[in-house]
Every structure is written in C-alpha cells, then in structure tokens.
Structure 1
Amino acid sequence: MARPQLLQLLLVTFLAAATQAKNSKDQQPLVGGLQEVDVNAKDVQKMRDFALKVYNQESEDPYWSKAMRVLQTHKQLVAGNKYYLDIEVGRTTCLKSQRISYDCPLMEEPPKQKDLLCSFQILSVPWEGTVSMIEYSCEDFLLSA
C-alpha cells in the first residue's frame, strides 16, 4: 500500500516542479532570443543617450542631433545585453562648434530641418562596465500625410 502512495507523491512533486519551471521560463528572457523592452526603461534611456553620443561624434553634420522619440526597442541576451533601438533623430539649432545643450530646440526651418530614422545595435556588458556600438544606419524619415 505504501508503494502507490509513494508513486503518487513523486508524480505530484514532478508535475509541480515542471509547472514552476515553465512559469519561471515565461518570466525570464530566453538566452539568445529577442525580447521587446519598454522604450521608457532606464537601461533603454542609457542606450539611447549612448547611441546619440556616438552618432553626433561620427556625423559630419555641423549641427547637434537629438532623439525625438524612441520608436521600438528589443534586447537580446548574449555575452551581455545586445540592444536594438529604432530612434527618430532630429537636427537641432545648435552648432557642434558650440557646447552641447540638452535643451537645444529642434530645427524647424524646412531647408535645414532634417529628420532621420536610425537603427542602432549596441552591446552592453555590465560586469565589464563596457558599452559599445556594434553598428548603426540612418535614413531620411518622412512622415506620411
């Protein structure tokens, strides 16, 4: 009689452990899988700032650019966190020959106005304290009327 009860107990324990493992997998990001991330998350804001810093350093535009809005973000768990950000970037009225001002207004004069859609891939390795740009590309961003 003790044997069937032992088998039932083992079966119930196994099912409970399997259910808990499935639930914890649903909450944890899958290694290597893309996970959508809230555009307002603190880590996304840091990656946005890093992306614009690199963009402004490498761009030959005489004006500073800034993020108008983050359109979409994903994160991938690799040897660190790989971020994919799509950002609408706009040209400001401040020249790069001046100190950067974070409250610099966007350029509104049509011949000088420049809106871009930029896609950035950034690798953050928190335990090493490193953040690096993997690649980025930008193209004219045209709003459809």
Structure 2
Amino acid sequence: MAYWWPSVCVLLLFGLLSAWCESSEQIDPFLMIWVDEIGAAEFAVQEYNNESEDDYVVLRKETVETKIQMAAGLMYHFKIRIKRTWCRKGETINSVCAFSYDTKICNFVVWAKVWLEGMHLLNYECPATWS
C-alpha cells in the first residue's frame, strides 16, 4: 500500500509542470489589447493617408479618446488628433519630416480580428478644414 504514493507524486509533478509550461507561453490579454490599440490607431491614420485627397502626409499626434468593443474581434473607436506634415505623399518619410501647424481631430472605427492578424478601417470622420 505504501508503493502507490511515488506514482501519484510523479503524476502530480508532471501535471504541474505541463500546466506551468502552457501558462508561461500565453500572452496577457490586456497587454495584447493595449499593443493592438496602438497598432490600430497607427493603422487608422495610415489608411486615412491612403484614402484622403490631401497632398501632404498626416501623422498621429495623440489619441484623445479610445473605446473598445468586443464583437467578433475588437472594434476600436478612436478620437485621434492628427497633424499635417510638410512631406508630400509619395516622398520618403523620415525623422526630418517637419510638422506644419495644421491639426484636426478625427473619429476612426477600426475592426481588428486578432486571430487572423487583420485590421479594417470601417469608418472615419474628419472636419473638412484644418485648424
């Protein structure tokens, strides 16, 4: 009867080790949402640059407000202050690219399907004039 406890200890140790290995490979979901939030905001501004008829590149100055909705992925609702640069579209953007004084606050909706590593800009609204 005293011979069964070493087997139980080995099985228990194996179970704990396998559970520890599985949990150490997982990503914290809150960290993943935060990292995706930054990437989704940058993606929204990049898509705005692709779709807008402005001759100049705009960059994200700051994210004013973020709301996250879980719906078959993550739906990000951003209010982002964008700033126009002096770089024309088609030129190489580098650290020398200076900002102009023009800014505006735009609303963006980005749908991120984390498991497919894909993002889609669903909607954006920006005022017509720069301030």
Which residue of the partner structure matches residue 50 of structure 2? 57
1:88 shift after superposition: 0.4
Which residue of the partner structure matches residue 94 of structure 1? 87
Partners of 2:58 and 2:44 lie apart in 1 by 11
**Which among 109, 114, 119 is matched to residue 121 of structure 1?**
109
Return the structure number with greater helix share: 2
Which residue of the partner structure matches residue 41 of structure 2? 48
Q: Is the 8 A contact 1:117 1:141 kept in 2?
A: no
Partners of 2:126 and 2:95 lie apart in 1 by 21
Partners of 2:48 and 2:96 lie apart in 1 by 18
For structure 1, list consecutive stretches of 5 or more residues without a partner in the other structure. Answer: 1-36, 109-113
Q: Is the 8 A contact 1:88 1:141 kept in 2?
A: no
SS of the aligned residue for 1:56 comes to: helix
Q: Normalising by the residue count of structure 1, what TM-score does the alignment of the two structures yield?
A: 0.62
Percent of aligned pairs sharing the same letter: 28
Q: How many residues align?
A: 98
Which runs of 4 or more aligned residues in structure 1 lie more than 4 Å from their structure 2 counterparts after TM superposition? none
Partners of 1:74 and 1:103 lie apart in 2 by 33
Query: What's the Cα RMSD here?
Result: 1.9
For structure 2, list consecutive stretches of 5 or more residues without a partner in the other structure. Answer: 1-29
SS of the aligned residue for 2:42 comes to: helix
The one-letter amino acid of 1:58's match is E
Q: Normalising by the residue count of structure 2, what TM-score does the alignment of the two structures yield?
A: 0.68
Equivalences for residues 1-145 of structure 1 within 5 A = 41-101=34-94, 104-108=97-101, 114-139=102-127, 140=129, 142=131
The one-letter amino acid of 2:72's match is A
